[in-house]
Copies of this chain bind each other. A is one copy, B any other.
Amino acid sequence: MLKLKLPIIVVNFKTYVESTGLNALKLAKICDKISRETGVSIAVAPQTADLYRVSSEVDIPVLAQHVDPIKPGASTGGILMESVKEAGASGFLVNHSEKMLKLSEIDFLINYGRQLSMVTLACSNNINVSGAIAALNPDMIAVEPPELIGTGIPVSKAQPEVVTGTIEFIKRINPSVIPLCGAGISSPEDVKAAIKLGTMGVLLASGVVKAKDPEAVVKSLAEALLE
């Protein structure tokens, strides 16, 4: 299994026009370049249809945004873990607040991911859910209060107790799980605050994808991790 270098910046491409197809490739190359130049660990999560194209041309880790809780077989339209792995993904997000899953599905995906040597980055919407997911033993958990996603208001500033509460609860239930900070992250200050609270990195999307100058933003975020 790929061992992600920490701390890490994970850029979720979502389904924005600015990060679809050729645009996904361009954005991933920017992240790849900044990671190489700064030495900071950056991973990208493009859409399923863009995984092969992106992973063929960058060296940084590529994660799928979602996989379906299925095994190979007759599941027309399903996103099979084996397919995203062969398309170059070394892991996947699970239970993002825009793609929430059943508890038993999260459990299945984390286990099956481990069998296939895929890194799992689970998302949680509050402290208790972070603890619940920790019991399922993913590699990482990003806590993201849904009401802050896409707002530019960082959880690290608006609700720091959610971040620290998550870290404590995770530590008590399963200390091997790595906590990340999501929701509203867009500036170097947000990144520094997230690290200061005790997380090992950030998960963000619109702050980079919708930026006028994504390269400048990614660079500033990476440099914040160097200080």
Contact = CB atoms under 8 A, between A and B. Distances in A.
Interface of A: 12, 14-17, 20-22, 45, 47-53, 64-66, 70, 72-80, 82-84, 86-87, 93, 95-107, 125-126, 128-129, 131-137, 149-150, 169, 173, 205-206
Given A17-B82, A66-B77, 11 more contacts: A15-B74, A15-B78, A17-B72, A45-B76, A47-B80, A48-B79, A49-B79, A49-B83, A50-B83, A103-B129, A135-B173
B49 A14 contact: no
A65 B136 CA distance: 26
Given A77-B93, A126-B107, A135-B134, A83 B15 contact: yes
Number of copies: 4
Contact of A133 (B22, B82, B103, B169): B103
B132 A76 contact: no
27 contacts: A14-B74, A15-B73, A15-B74, A15-B75, A15-B83, A16-B72, A17-B72, A20-B72, A21-B82, A22-B86, A45-B76, A47-B83, A49-B79, A52-B53, A53-B87, A75-B98, A76-B93, A77-B93, A77-B98, A78-B98, A100-B105, A102-B102, A103-B103, A103-B133, A128-B135, A128-B136, A128-B137
Contacts of A66: 76-78
Contacts of A173: 131, 135, 173
A96 to B, nearest CB: 4
Given A49-B86, A50-B52, A87-B21, A72 B15 contact: yes
